[in-house]
């Protein structure tokens, strides 16, 4: 059977692309990758060739193309992971789904003011009051999930929730956000994944720079 194809953006910047990419990699699913360099001259043509909605990520499986990071992860879960992308426990699964929905629809200030930029590392970054509110909410949420599940991942085993919060872990690292010790350990655990390291290596090899995503202190 033909391998699925994941259509993604720049590894340095495309936070939504990282979620399904990491999920596929962590579960050892074989797939092909098509990378569309965002906001370049080639982007419109490549988007119209490979995506139904002019955005990434998209997963193509035979003649099916599924778009939007959350729908892509849910498709991966049912099609390739036999449902193992979520824990079996209904309560834990539901809390995980709520956390992922909150990420997918929220944290707008954090996403705007701390864009994902995996290859950079700032010293002296100061979050605005509103960005700090997003950060504080994420801290409370991670604490709740880790306490309930017992860790080491948000829902116990690695799940869609960790894939969705990996771009946040990456941002916390890039912008040097201060965290309670146990959550710094969680971030370090995400960053230490071989799969995340592979993404980082690829991001470092990319030549494109998107000025709007480069925060100036
Ligand atoms: N809600 C969508 C958002 C996707 C999205 O905004 N992707 C960005 C890259 S991270 C994109 O394709 N931008 C291209 C554009 O806006 O033209 C998802 O979760 O997948």
- Both 149 and 58 in one domain: the answer is no
pLDDT at 150: 98
- Both 37 and 98 in one domain: the answer is no
Beta bridge partners of 59: 6, 66
pLDDT of residue 9 exceeding 80: yes
pLDDT of residue 47 exceeding 90: yes
Q: Does any domain span residue 53? A: yes
pLDDT at 122: 97
Å from CA of 16 to ligand 1 middle: 7
- Both 46 and 101 in one domain: the answer is no
pLDDT at 157: 98
Q: Quick one: pLDDT band at residue 105, thresholds 50, 70, 90?
A: very high
CATH number of the domain encompassing residue 51: 3.40.30.10
Q: Does any domain span residue 206? A: no
- Both 146 and 51 in one domain: the answer is no
Domain end position, chosen among 84, 107, 125 = 84
Mean pLDDT estimate for the chain: 98
Q: Does any domain span residue 210? A: no
Domain of 125 in residue numbering reads as 90-199
Q: What is the DSSP string of the chain?
A: -PPPEEEE--TTT-HHHHHHHHHHHHTT---EEEE--TTSTTHHHHHHHH-SSS-S-EEEETTEEEESHHHHHHHHHHHHSTTTTS-SSHHHHHHHHHHHHHHHH--HHHHHHS---TT---SS----HHHHHHHHHHHHHHHHHHHHH-SSBTBBB--HHHHHHHHHHHHHHHTT----HHHHHHHHHHHH-HHHHHHHHHHHH-----GGGS---
Ligand 1, atom 10, lies closest to the CA of: 14
Å from CA of 8 to ligand 1 middle: 9
- Both 79 and 22 in one domain: the answer is yes
Q: Is the CB of 14 under 6 A from ligand 1?
A: yes
Q: Is the pTM of this model over 0.95?
A: yes
pLDDT at 138: 98
CATH number of the domain encompassing residue 171: 1.20.1050.10
- Both 141 and 188 in one domain: the answer is yes
Q: Does any domain span residue 131? A: yes
pLDDT at 1: 77
Work out the average pLDDT over 114-137. Answer: 98
pLDDT of residue 126 exceeding 90: yes
Q: Does any domain span residue 107? A: yes
Domain end position, chosen among 56, 84, 112 = 84
Work out the average pLDDT over 43-58. Answer: 98
Å from CA of 214 to ligand 1 middle: 17
Q: Does any domain span residue 209? A: no
pLDDT of residue 167 exceeding 80: yes
- Both 116 and 60 in one domain: the answer is no
Work out the average pLDDT over 105-112. Answer: 98
pLDDT of residue 7 exceeding 90: yes
Q: What total of structural domains would you count in the chain?
A: 2
Give the percent of the chain with pLDDT over 70: 100
């Amino acid at each position: 059977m033909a391998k699925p194809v994941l259509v993604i953006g720049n590894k340095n910047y495309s936070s939504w692309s990282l979620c399904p990419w990491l999920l596929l990699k962590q579960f050892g699913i074989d797939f092909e990758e098509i990378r569309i360099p965002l906001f370049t001259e080639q982007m419109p043509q490549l988007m119209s060739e490979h995506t139904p909605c002019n955005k990434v990520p998209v997963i193509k499986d035979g003649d099916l193309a599924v778009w939007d990071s959350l729908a892509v992860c849910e498709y991966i879960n049912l099609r390739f992971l036999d449902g193992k992308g979520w824990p079996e426990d209904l309560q834990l699964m539901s809390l995980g789904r709520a956390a992922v929905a909150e990420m997918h629809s929220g944290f707008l200030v954090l996403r705007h003011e701390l864009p994902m930029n995996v290859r950079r590392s700032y010293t002296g970054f100061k979050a605005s009051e509103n960005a700090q509110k997003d950060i504080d909410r994420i801290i409370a949420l991670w604490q709740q999930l880790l306490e309930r599940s017992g860790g080491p991942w948000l829902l116990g085993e690695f799940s869609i929730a960790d894939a969705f919060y990996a771009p946040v872990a990456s941002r916390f690292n890039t912008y040097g956000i201060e965290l309670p010790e146990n959550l710094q350990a969680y971030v370090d655990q995400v960053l230490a994944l071989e799969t995340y390291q592979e993404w980082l290596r690829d991001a470092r090899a990319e030549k494109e720079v998107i000025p709007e995503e480069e925060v100036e202190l």
